[in-house]
Structures are given as C-alpha cells and as structure tokens.
A and B are shown apart, each in its own frame.
Chain A
Amino acid sequence: HRHSSGAVRVCVCDCREDLWVREGRILDPEKLFFDEQGYADKRVDCGGNIIAPGFIDVQINGGYGIDFSQASEDVSGGISFVGKKILEHGVTSFCPTLVTSPPAVYHKVLPNIKVYNGGPHGAGVLGFHLEGPFISVEKRGAHPEHCLRTFKYGGLQDLMEAYGSLDNVAMVTLAPELAKSQSVVQELCQRGITVSLGHSVANLSQAEEAVQHGASFITHLFNAMLPFHHRDPGIVGLLTSDQIPAGRTVYYGMIADGIHTNPAALRIAHRAHPLGLVLVTDAITAMGLPPGRHTLGQQVIEIQGLHAYVAGTTTLCGSIATMDMCVRHFKHASGCSVEEALEAASLHPAQLLGISNRKGKLDFGSDADLVFLDDALNIQATYISGEEVWRK
C-alpha cells in the first residue's frame, strides 16, 4: 500500500502544464517523483482555465456596507465579511485600509485585527493600510479636514499618539512635504512598515528624499497629488527618477476603474515604469451595494452608476470597481499582455510588501493562493492554501 503523498495535481490549459499543491504550498513535482516516488492523490481538471497567483489588494476601505474606518461594535466581523466577499473577485489577501480618522477610531479599530491567513472563511489580512492622518490639507480629497495631523516630534511618538499601536500595520500613507516627516519615514521603514506617498503637494525632490529614507509606494498615482509638470514632475516624477537608490523599486498604485484615471494617463504611467504598477481598488463601503447614499469615515457619499462622490460635490471619494474589473480594464486600456495584467494585481503588490517569497507567484514553495480565470479574465474559482474557497 502506498502512503498518501498528500499531493493534489491541478491541470492547466490543455495540460500544457500542471500545478502541484501539497499542504497549502506549491510543490515541485519533479522532487516528489524522484525523492518520494510519489504521484498525485487527487487531480483537479481546471478545464483550460488560466491559473494565476491570487490577487492582493493593498488599498480597500470596505465594501458591502462595511466601512473599515468606522469604530463599529464588530470590527473583526466586518473585516471578515468583506474578506469573504472579495474571494469572488479573485482577491486572496488584502490590507484593510483606514482613511484619516480621529485617534479614538484608530485606538478602537486597530487592536481588533491581527494579521491572519486566508481560507474558506475569506481572504487573508496582511495588515492595515493607514491612509492618513499625516497628509496635506489641500490634497485631502474625501478625508475630513478636522482629523488631519502634522508631526510634532518627528518620530514614533507622533505615530503612537495618532494610532495607538503599530502592530499589524502593513502600510502608512503620508505627505513627505510635512515638516519632520523624513525621520518618521525612517522610523516606519525600520519596523518593516511600507511607507507610501500620497495626498500630498510634495515636489519631486521632497518625494525623492522620502524614497531615499525608505518610502517605496505611491498611493493612487495622479489622484490627490500635484499634476505632472515638465519642470517639476512632483510625485509622478518618481516613476522615472534617477535618484532612486540602486536595487530598489518605487511601486505605484493605480485605480484602473476607468474613472479615477484617464486611460491615456494610465498608459503613460505603465509605459514609463511597467514593473512598478500595482492595481488597487480603493474600494469603499458602497462597493457591492446598490446606488444611493452611504457613510465613509466621517463623511457621507453618493453612488451614481460606477461613480462615488462626496455627497453634494463632484469630488471622487473612492471606487466601487472590483479587483477583477480593474485587471480587465487595465489590460484593455493599456494593451498589455495577460501576464502583465495579472502580475499588476499579484506579483507587484507582493513585491511591494516584501512577501513575494511566499505570495504573488506560482513558484515552488509559494503559498498556493490561486485564481482560475477564463480567457476574458473572468474569475472562475479562487483557491487559498490549495483549498477551493470560491467557485463560480
């Protein structure tokens, strides 16, 4: 009797290549064959679908009526609820995002969630993305002005006063032109927290200085920052800056919903720096809900079709496009290949967060977080750790 090797063999595109999974990780079948004389215990025929690494959303504010920035009674329940729903969009890991909020909200919300792996219960949480409150007043967008803060000390104390805790925080968005911000950037990077530049009126040198201190991301490129100017490209200039330290990449988030960025602008960014493009949804509470009025942070918003505005204005306050919609739109608008479109939603965010050794790839040893897609890039099934967690 052969002992079970525990291996599952997932067949891809006309068996052009098979993917092997064991104990939640992608397995090297050659090793299994020669070392263990093993073969598959279970075969899954995915009928010619594309298999890609599961999508990673590093900027999502809520959805389906849940607002991550609200200090509700059941914070973890809300995050789990959204985490379960976004499996349908191919998202297997995400960073719940909190917009600028008063300290009380951070102190209440942050302790509720630990970083955890995904599974049948929903997508995994990689840590919070704290977008604000250390941002520019002119470029606050939908963030409430009365909650904005500046750096008094230029260090950890500012962060602890605002947030209460940095545990389980994956990313912080801040404006680097704020006084004393550079030392804060360093402080955060030393703790392994990704620093992102956004909601800012910084010029290119201020942005470059922040990158030299460790900043590595741009929050929703083009939105909430100074427009590109040929004598001072501002934050946008980071895409082609020659001041980036060797061996480092500056990544940039793009909301490819067809609304937040004109397709021509998307193409300019993509062509200038294709390897840094990270698709984000920046999805808000109303994502997944019908048209009407809903609450986001401390403000009220209004849905009209695929647009979400600050109620009573024409200021966009976030997107309601899903991640798979963004992937399809990005491919269509940029004319890029299927692989590039999928990498922008999986590999690049994993590289940004420094977790590409286990996520965002289909390498042997990576977590088996997968998404099956048809040729039009519609999600057919989602897997986490080798287990099917959603099927169309």
Chain B
Amino acid sequence: MKLIILNDYDQASEWAAKYIRNKILLFKPGADRYFTLGLPTGSTPLGCYKKLIEYYKKGEISFQYVKTFNMDEYVGLPRDHPESYHSFMWNNFFKHIDIKAENTHILDGNAANLQDECQAFEDKIKAAGGIELFVGGIGPDGHIAFNEPGSSLVSRTRVKTLARDTILANARFFDGDLSKVPTMALTVGVGTVMDAKEVMILITGAHKAFALYKAIEEGVNHMWTVSAFQQHPQTVFVCDEDATLELRVKTVKYFKGEAESKTHDAHMDLLKHSGCIESLKLHYGLVDNASLIIAVKTQIVENVDFCIIVC
C-alpha cells in the first residue's frame, strides 16, 4: 500500500488528478485499447474532477478512449433528479470533457429488474477487460461505495439497503426530509473493486480520520470494508493532513519518508534508462507518481538532451 499525504484538500485533489492523468497518458489509449476507470461520487472527489477538467481544457488529456464505470446509484430516484448520481456525474464531470456517452456506465436504479441490472454491470466490466484503475472514497463508517459495515468482502454488484447513518447523512440533500431520501442503492461489491488492477482511495477531512485508521492500521474487517484493500497488490491512499489525525505518528512518518526517497531513486532510474537512439523520441515517465517526465532524446547521444518535468 502507498499512503500519500498532502497538506490540504486542494493539494490532495490535484495529486490524485495528476495520478489519473498520468496513468491514462502512460497507457496510451486508442480505438482498440480503452483505459477503464472506476469512479466515485460525493464531495471528496469534486476537487479531483475539477482538476481533471482543467487538464482536459488545457489539452493535456483526452477522454475519448476512456471507459468509466461508476460505483453506485440510488434505487428509485428519477435519473434527472438533481441528487441522482447520473446528475452528479453529468454536472461535475461528463459535460465538461470529451467522453462519449456510450463509454460511460452508471448503474440504473430504475431498471425493471435490479438483479439483472447488477449482473449486466459486472458483465460489462468483464467485457471491457476489467478495470485498470478504480478510484473510490471512504465513508465515515469505513464503507467503500455502498458496502456498508457488515458487507461481504468478496461481494459483487448488488442491491443494498442503506444504513440509518447514511440516510441521515444524505437528508441534507433532500431538503432535510427523511421520507424523500432513497433507502436502497445499487453498488459495486468489495470484490468487484478488488478485481481492478489498481485502486486509489481518496480520503480528506478530519471526519474521515477514524475510518482511515481502521482501514490501514487495524486488521481486515467487514465492519470497515475499505480494510479489504490491505489484500490488494496495488493500492494507493491519497489523503490530507486532517485525515491522518487518528494515525500513529510512526505510520505517518514512515510514509512521508518513503515518498521522499522514492522521488530521487525514480529520477535517477529514468535518466540511466535513456540509452542511445538514432532519432527523436518522446519518453514518458513518472517521478513520485505526481510529476510527469517527458524526456526528449536526440541522435547518437548517451544522455538525455533535456528533460521536461511537468508538475
């Protein structure tokens, strides 16, 4: 697991957005090779989405060959309701970028048969070749997507009844009227996210600190479903200082120190790896996972002529 600690929400959002951007660029997606991205909703990823939109507008990235799979959607809420996750994704992301509608996938909470809808979603992920990078958030009770405490850690996409806490927390989006808050949702399972090649969890704010502690310093426990990712080969947790408030000082120091040493090593590796080439070639590389090196090499030279570090 990698734990990346940034100073505040904005920096954490930016780091996460760059990570996603760089992953897509390095993948070099094309018509026969789509980059599959799992996406969350909620207030935590908003900053990250804003940054990604910025990079798209600057021409740094295109979503033309990106397929997205959202984690969840309410059951029974009209699709054009302002609080539906369809509306969230449209307003906060899709409408600002060049993604094609047929490449976006969000569970349909109004499907005639909800079980079939969930199975179809799993099939679509499989048909797309699995998910390259699944981005998620964490609830104050440690849940990922709507996998509330007690959810199976090998669960698949299914219908879930929402916990009382979740309904209360959501009431503010429905004019404080509890009767208007959806009580069920369709959600990817913990197992579904575990199948992804890589997982990135965004956690910001002091109110998530206890959940982060439970997720990474305690054992794997279905009461804190995000803890399941301790058993995933490639997970990165991105958080701000406030989210680390319940962690041991030792944990924080370890991960902060690791980040510093990795930067230097990765840089040296990349330069050594240059080699000799006859013609102009662009080479992408990652330094500390947040900066992108574009090393331009020209003819018959051992070393890199010049190095553009995009931060």
> Which residues of A come within 8 Å of B, CB atoms?
15, 18, 28-31, 33-34, 36-39
Contact = CB atoms under 8 A, between A and B. Distances in A.
27 contacts: A15-B57, A15-B96, A18-B95, A28-B80, A29-B90, A29-B95, A30-B80, A30-B86, A30-B87, A30-B90, A30-B91, A30-B95, A31-B80, A33-B90, A33-B94, A33-B95, A33-B101, A34-B79, A34-B86, A34-B90, A34-B101, A36-B101, A37-B100, A37-B101, A38-B101, A39-B100, A39-B101
A30 B86 CA distance: 9
Contacts of B101: 33-34, 36-39
A297 B43 CA distance: 64
Interface of B (DSSP majority class): helix
Interface in B132-149: none
A15 B53 CA distance: 12
Main secondary structure of the interface of A (DSSP, over half): helix
B165 interface: no
Nearest to B53: A15
A31 B79 CA distance: 9
Contacts of A38: 101
B254 to A, nearest CB: 43
Interface string B77-93: 00110000011001100
A29 B94 CA distance: 11
Contacts of A18: 95
Interface residues of B, number: 13
B102 interface: yes
Kindly list the 5 A-B residue pairs having the minimum CB-CB distance in the complex, ordered from nearest.
Answer: A37-B101, A30-B90, A33-B101, A37-B102, A34-B86
Contacts, number: 28
A36 B101 CA distance: 8
Chain B CB within 10 Å, residue with most, of A18, A34, A38:
A34
A160 to B, nearest CB: 48
A31 B101 CA distance: 11
B155 to A, nearest CB: 27
A202 to B, nearest CB: 45
A34 B80 CA distance: 10
Contacts of B95: 18, 29-30, 33
A39 B103 CA distance: 13
Interface centre among B80, B86, B91 (most CB of A within 10 A): B80
Contacts of B102: 37
A15 B87 CA distance: 19
Nearest to A33: B101
Contacts of A37: 100-102
A39 B100 CA distance: 8
Nearest to B80: A30
Contacts of B87: 30
Contacts of A34: 79, 86, 90, 101
A47 to B, nearest CB: 16
A31 B86 CA distance: 10
A38 B100 CA distance: 8
A258 B157 CA distance: 67
Nearest to B95: A29
Contacts of A33: 90, 94-95, 101
Contacts of A28: 80
A34 B100 CA distance: 10
B94 to A, nearest CB: 6
B67 to A, nearest CB: 13
A28 B90 CA distance: 11
Interface in B94-135: 94-96, 100-102
Contacts of B100: 37, 39
Nearest to A364: B80
B105 to A, nearest CB: 11
Contacts of A15: 57, 96
Contacts of A31: 80
Contacts of B90: 29-30, 33-34
Contacts of A30: 80, 86-87, 90-91, 95
